[in-house]
């Protein structure tokens, strides 16, 4: 459903939000450790998310990645679109050149329903809210036990 890059991006941004709510900026290394993702690859993804203003960053000592009021309204939908594009929302699930109502593929009508639920899932909570759930211990970004 999501590329690895997107999965890392989602977990990273939620972690950044969690730390930002506590007043901390965080470095790429710390993020990668806490979301169980490869550090250099994670850094690349964060770069892109900063460019698209999903999060903020600051260079130099005491710098790092952060999220604040300017990023408050973003949802997973925005983030997923930046990294994986809009194929999940707009493209034909069977790979036809475009998704069309008048010339639908065998999955079209059913996919439309699924998409509604996917978009719902990705928009009903802000990234900040998801971070608050992690903060409350209701959800986790990684499991290091097994």
Partner DNA sequence: CAATTTAAGGACTTTTTTATCCTTTATTGT
Partner DNA sequence: ACAATAAAGGATAAAAAAGTCCTTAAATTG
Binding site for a second copy (CB under 8 A): 1-2, 4, 7-8, 10-11, 14, 76, 88, 93-97, 100, 103-108, 110-111, 113-114, 117-118, 120-121, 124, 130, 133-134, 138-143, 146
Judged by CB under 6 A, the stretch of 15-23, 40-48, 88-96, 125-133 that binds ligand FES is 88-96
Q: Is 107 in the site for ligand FES (CB under 6 A)?
A: yes
Of ligand FES, a second copy, DNA, none, which one sits near residue 9, judging by CB under 5 to 8 A according to partner kind?
Answer: none
Positive or negative, the CA dihedral 143, 9, 32, 1 is: positive
Q: How far is the CB of 110 from DNA (least distance, A)?
A: 21
Q: How far is CA 99 from CA 1, 78, 88, in A?
A: 18, 21, 11
What is the three-class DSSP state of 40?
Answer: helix
Q: How far is CA 79 from CA 13, 66, 94, 107, 115, in A?
A: 9, 15, 24, 26, 16
Query: Exactly one of 22, 24, 29, 114 binds DNA (CB under 7 A); which one?
Result: 29
Q: How far is CA 146 from CA 7, 35, 143, in A?
A: 21, 16, 8
Tokens found for residue 93? 């699930």
Of a second copy, ligand FES, DNA, none, which one sits near residue 113, judging by CB under 5 to 8 A according to partner kind?
Answer: a second copy
């Amino acid at each position: 459903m999501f590329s690895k890059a997107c999965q890392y991006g989602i977990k990273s941004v939620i972690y950044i939000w969690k730390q930002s709510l506590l007043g901390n900026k965080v470095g790429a290394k710390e993020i990668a450790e806490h979301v169980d993702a490869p550090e250099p690859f994670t850094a690349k993804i964060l770069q892109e998310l900063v460019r698209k203003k999903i999060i903020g960053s600051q260079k130099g000592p005491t710098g790092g990645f952060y999220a604040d009021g300017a990023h408050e309204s973003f949802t997973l939908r925005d983030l997923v679109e930046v990294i994986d594009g809009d194929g999940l929302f707009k493209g034909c699930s069977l790979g036809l050149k475009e998704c069309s109502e008048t010339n639908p593929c065998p999955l079209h009508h059913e996919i439309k329903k699924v998409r509604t639920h996917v978009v719902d899932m990705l928009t009903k909570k802000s990234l900040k809210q998801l971070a608050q759930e992690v903060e409350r211990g209701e959800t986790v970004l990684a499991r290091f036990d097994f």
